[in-house]
Structures are given as C-alpha cells and as structure tokens.
Amino acid sequence: MSYLDEIADKLGKENYHKLAKINNPKLHEFIARYVKLCNPDKIYVCTDSPEDIAYIREAAIRNGEEFKLAIEGHTAHFDNYYDQARDRKNTGILVPKGMDLGPFLETKDRDWALQDVHEILKDIMRGKELYICFFTLGPARSIFSIPCVQLTDSAYVAHNEFLLYRPGYEEFVRLGPNARFFKFIHSAGELDERKTSKNLDKRRIYIDILDDTVYSVNTQYGGNTIGLKKLAMRLAIYRGSQEGWLCEHMFILGVHGPGGRVTYFTGAYPSLCGKTSTAMLEGESIVGDDIAFLRKINGQVRAVNTEVGMFGIIQGINSKDDPILWKALHSPGEIIFSNVLVTEDGRVHWIGKDGDVPPRGINHSGEWYIGKKDAEGKEIPCSHPNARFTLNLRLLENLDPAIDDPEGVVVKGIIYGGRDSDTWVPVEEAFDWVHGIITKGAALESERTAAVLGKEGEREFNPMSNLDFLSIPVGRYIQINLDFGRDLENPPRIFSVNYFLRDKDGKFLNAREDKRVWIKWMELRVHNEVGAVRTPTGLIPRYEDLARLFHQVLKKDYPKEAYIAQFTLRVPENLAKIARVTEIYRTKVPDTPPILFEVMEAQRQRLLEAREKFGDYISPEAFGGI
C-alpha cells in the first residue's frame, strides 16, 4: 500500500489524483504521516489554479478567520489579544545533543521538542479541514528557488501565503523525486468565539534544521505561522551556510540614478526602523521588502526576493509619507488587514493614519472605544502597534520589472539601519567590505519596538538585523559574511543609515523624507560620482553634494546648520557603543572571528585620536574630504 493509499479515504478521489501527479515518495510520506497524526475531518489539496486559490480565500471567510470590508477584495483578521508578535520564549531551533548554537539563539533539545510538539499535534485538526499548499521561495526554475509544502488548518494562514509567495505545485510536479523541499506543519489549535487561537500556553514554534521542517501550533499571528517567512529563514540560513550563499533579512531596492540607470541595493533593518518605507521610496522601484537570497554568480553578488508579497507593519502609514502604499491600501485589490480598527461601515483605521481616530469599532480586543483599557489597566490603542497588512507586490505601481528574474539582480550596495537616538549619523559608508560587515552589520544595535514581545525602547544587539532568525552560531555567521565578499573584485559597498538621531532636547534631526536624499547619495557613491568626508568611523557626505541633492530630490534648502547637527561625530557615544558590542562578542560569542576585535579596536583608536585633537563632539567640517 502506498503512502497516499493510507489516507485515500480522507483525500477523496480528486485530491488523491492531485498528490499522485507529484512523483515524490518523500513528500507523500510526509503528508500521510501528519494527516494521520493531526486527524482532520477533510483535506483540500491546492494546486496553482485560480479556482483552487479562490477556494482558500473563500474558506477564510467561511471559517470566520477573515471578514469582508467595504473596499472590494479587502478583508480583516484578528489574532488573540495576547498573540500579537513573535514569541521568542516558545520559538526554538531544535538541536541534537552536542550541538551548541551559542547564548543568543533559543534552542530546544531536539528529541524532547519533537515529542512535545507531536503530542500537541495529535488529533488537533479533528473537526477541521486541512489545506495542503505548495509554494517556491524565490523564482521558479532558478538556482535560487526552494520548493515548499505547507500543511495548515488555517485558511487565513494559507491565504496570506498565496499573496506572499509564488505558487509551487507545478514546480513540485516538474522536479518530481529531485525536489529538495522545506516542510511546514501548522495548526491554529482550538479557536475561541472570535475564531482566534485559544490555548496560548501550548503555543509552540519549532524549527528542525536537520529535517528542513517547521512546526507551528496554537497561534495565528503571521510571524509565528506564515511558515515560509521568518521561520523558513532559519532553514535557509542553515542550508546557505553549508552551500556558500546567504539568506538575509533584507529588502531589495532599485534606485534610479542619472541617465535612466537603475542600481540595486539590499538593506537590513529591524522591525519599525524604516525598512518598508525605504523599500517603498517614491521614485524608486521595489524588488522586495523583507527577505533576500544572495549568491555569487560570475564574480557578482546577485539577489532575489524570496517572496512576491508584503506582510507589512501598518502603523504610521499615511498619505504624505507613503503615497504608493497609501494608494494601494485604499484601492480595490486583494489585501488582508490584521489587528487594525474596523468601523461599522467596514472601513479600517490604524495608529498614525490620516484623520481623526473613530470613536468606536472592533479591533483585536473586541468591541473598542476611545479610552478602553485591558485587564492590566493599560489603555488599548485603536490598532495594535504591530498591526499588519498583507498584499501582493503586483498591487504596487513601483514594482520593479526584475521581480521574477531567475538570475536575480546585481547588488551594488548593502545598507544596515537601526533605531538609534544618539550615535550613528544619518548615512555613512564603510571603508571596505570587512570594515562594513563588522562596524555596520555585526555591530548593529536597535531600540526595541512592538514587533517583539518585551519592553519597548531597550537597546538590543542585533547583528545584520538577523539575530532572531539565525540557525547557526553568531560567530560563524559573522565569518560567513566576511568570507562572502573577500574573493570579489568589486564587492558591494556597505553603508549604515539612521533615521532616528535626536538632538539633546530629544527632537529628531531627520525628516522622514530625508531618506530619499541619503539613498540618492549612496547610489552616486557606488558609481564614484561624488566624493566624501573621511571620519574615524567611515565616509560621510560632503555638504555641497547634499545641498544639491536636497534641491533636486525634495525641492528644499538644506542649511549648513542642519548638516553639522546631523553629521557631528559623537565620540563618547561611539566609544560606548564599541565597548558594549566588543564586550558582547568577547563574553558571549566564543567563536567570534579575531578580526572583529582588531577592526573595532582600530576604530576606537581613531576616535580617541580625534577626541584628543577636536574634543567630544566634532563637526564634519573638521575632517578632510576625499
């Protein structure tokens, strides 16, 4: 008896034939095992056909996980009040005895965790329908692509994935037994009267890197359940570390330069640090906003977006600062809004949206009104700070035509950015690849935001904005990044940005739109078309170049006083940062590459010499240009 024959009664004739068309016994074995364990009442196998995808969309409405809004194609979904962000405590990389990933990675004993999650999964889908869906990470028929199979009892989760990823059923059929695929098992578990996950004490998000499998149970929040997103990153990082390519928490942006030139940048920023708004800059073109695969091909770094959609934070999106997203979010088209405020007329509102906050509606807390407080006495905002929207990038008018290029785009620049109130200048170029990976990427810190459970505002160590998603030791990850650029004749330039620098009174020194100028300066730098000022920490813009760009891009003046305030070198804060970061690597990352300490010490010495000569706070005019 074949694996499919074992579950033929639950599959039915049509679904049986859909799976039988894929000649992959390992896939059939995986599906049969979890059908028998989870015990759904019925199964739906989704191919790439519009009819099958429509079935998923309609099931989310029929099951009550989503409901329709006033604008055609728009739906809303609510998660449990306490299921609104990535759950670090109950998320773990499964490791066998003897494997140590270091203190920053949450790990679980593999034998114990597999037993734990399989006990929870037993009969968890009884009374429900199981959706079996197929996708690819990256474009199909590409060296970048990874086939994926998702098993879930949540039509909401499956609906998200059909907006975010390329369909993969035909890719599985084409590859047959040669498919090396990632596997995802998810159950929302028992639902309450609002159709949200009920048993959060049994929430588990386990990543088995040895078996290319992700388990997610008793949760609906996208960051815990949309398996191909951050959960798949752990699988891809582990595979890439063995094969010599990178999976990074990066957008891919086409920056339009002089003469119709398009130059591609990737950028890594923690959540709520300007990543999506940079990927969506007016006048530029987006390839991706979140996750990139990077490979070295014919002496160049090339990148693809693993996704074709956006699962974005909606807080703060407004018509002035985000005109392209604003237009998409207010036009007909398939969009899921999660944990926003929904008014009686089927409209949505969120923190930072244009206009007054409606006095009442429904949100993640249930019936809502201004001034409502939760059980802890904390006032509940109209939408959750981590409220989201999901859409396909094809709804955006600035989508880059290279989105599905199987060869990817050539990367000329890499940007690291965080939420930093007192140290980094708004934009700075590293001296070289090694200096950039260490002082911009490996030294990245950011003030905590609502996207992660815990206290907001605390400064967090977050190398490459990827710490939450690593599945290899931090030191090894840093070394892999260092090695990645060393045999390239012209590696991408590395930059840092900081949109959150404040003055001594706490006032932001950057306007939100200033990032349009910083990106244009970086584009000119990678083509050696503007000079720079050499400081102890890197290369910063010359005033005259920025003044010209502010006129060209934003049609406004750029006072010399603003330049000096923004680009003053803050020596004490930079020295404190070096001390913090170096101490972390010295005490908590036992496999830190020795060159990291050498590069950080050299930067410390340059800062000390500058302080001796100019003082603690040094105007950019004190340094010479190049």
Catalytic residue set? 273
Question: How far is Cα 515 from Cα 276, in angstroms, rounded to an integer?
Answer: 12
Exposed/middle/buried for residue 362 (C-beta within 10 Å: 0-12, 13-18, 19+) = middle
Is there a contact between 288 and 305 (Cβ–Cβ < 8 Å)? yes
Beta carbons within 10 angstroms of residue 105's beta carbon: 20
Q: By C-alpha distance, which of 484, 448, 493, 487 is closest to 468?
A: 448
Question: How far is Cα 130 from Cα 526, in angstroms, rounded to an integer?
Answer: 50
The strand pair at 493-497 and 427-429 is best described as: antiparallel
SS3 at position 592:
coil
Is there a contact between 595 and 583 (Cβ–Cβ < 8 Å)? no
Following DSSP, what letter does each residue of 299-358 receive, concatenated?
TEEEEEES-SEEEEE-TT--TTT-HHHHHHHTSSS-EEEES-EE-TTS-EE-TT-SSPPP
Question: What SS3 string covers 36-92?
Answer: HHHCCCEEEECCCCHHHHHHHHHHHHHCCCCEECCCCCEEEECCCCCCCCECCCCEE
Residue 399 — φ and ψ, nearest 5°?
-65, 130
SS3 at position 372:
coil
Is there a contact between 443 and 423 (Cβ–Cβ < 8 Å)? no
Q: Which amino acid is at 327?
A: K
Q: How crowded is the C-beta side of 141, counted as CA atoms within 13 Å?
A: 5
Question: How far is Cα 342 from Cα 379, in angstroms, rounded to an integer?
Answer: 18
CB proximity list for 25: less than 8 A, separation 6 or greater = 3, 177
Handedness of CA 463, 466, 468, 469 (dihedral sign): negative
Beta-sheet strands, E only, within 153-274: 166-167, 182-187, 204-208, 213-217, 246-248, 251-256, 262-268
* CA distances (Å), origin 247, targets 56, 280, 560: 29, 21, 40
Question: How far is Cα 437 from Cα 442, in angstroms, rounded to an integer?
Answer: 6
Give the bridge partners for 310, in sequence order: 391
Q: By C-alpha distance, which of 97, 71, 173 is closest to 389?
A: 71
Q: Angle 31-165-67 (CA atoms, 0-180°, nearest 5)?
A: 90
Give the bridge partners for 285, in sequence order: 254
